[in-house]
Homo-oligomer: A and B are copies of this chain.
Amino acid sequence: MNSMIKKTLQGANLKQTKARIAVLSALEESKVPMDASEIHKQIQKSNSDVDLATIYRILEKFEASGIAHRVNLNKDRFHYELLSLPHHHHVVCKVCGKVQDIQDCDLSTVEQSVKENLGFAIQNHRLEFFGFCKNCS
């Protein structure tokens, strides 16, 4: 088994179960954030199966452990992606729904002013762009 997966679970003090390994693998293979049902289907493609309820419970654990986090793509379900990915954001096509990553994000000026003006301690942020991808333009 992928030793990266093993380490990730051990590091988070989580038992290595078939279900968790399956969810982690699915997220790892994916280039874009996945929702619970997509993860479910992906696992079934690998000739395995994990109950949807279990997937939700696992995602909750993963988020609490800092393994993954919920990203909000303005759709009617939540999506999840691994936190081991370098910090980045998403570009979502309004036509085909395609999601792409972007790496740049210099928000230091904005963050500075939030801190000074509101006394707000920023922990993290979410930045998404919506528009039309190359193909749909």
Give A94-137 as 1s and 0s: 1 = Cβ < 8 Å from B's Cβ atoms: 10000010101111011101100111111111111111111001
Give the complex CA separation of A131 and B125 in angstroms. 8
Copy tally for this chain in the complex stands at: 2
Report A's interface with B, CB cutoff 8 A: 70, 72, 74, 91, 93-94, 100, 102, 104-107, 109-111, 113-114, 117-134, 137
- A-B CB contact pairs (8 Å), 28 listed: A72-B72, A74-B126, A100-B118, A100-B120, A102-B113, A102-B114, A102-B117, A102-B118, A104-B109, A104-B110, A104-B113, A104-B114, A105-B110, A106-B109, A111-B129, A114-B129, A118-B134, A119-B133, A119-B134, A120-B132, A120-B134, A121-B132, A122-B131, A123-B132, A124-B130, A125-B127, A126-B129, A127-B128
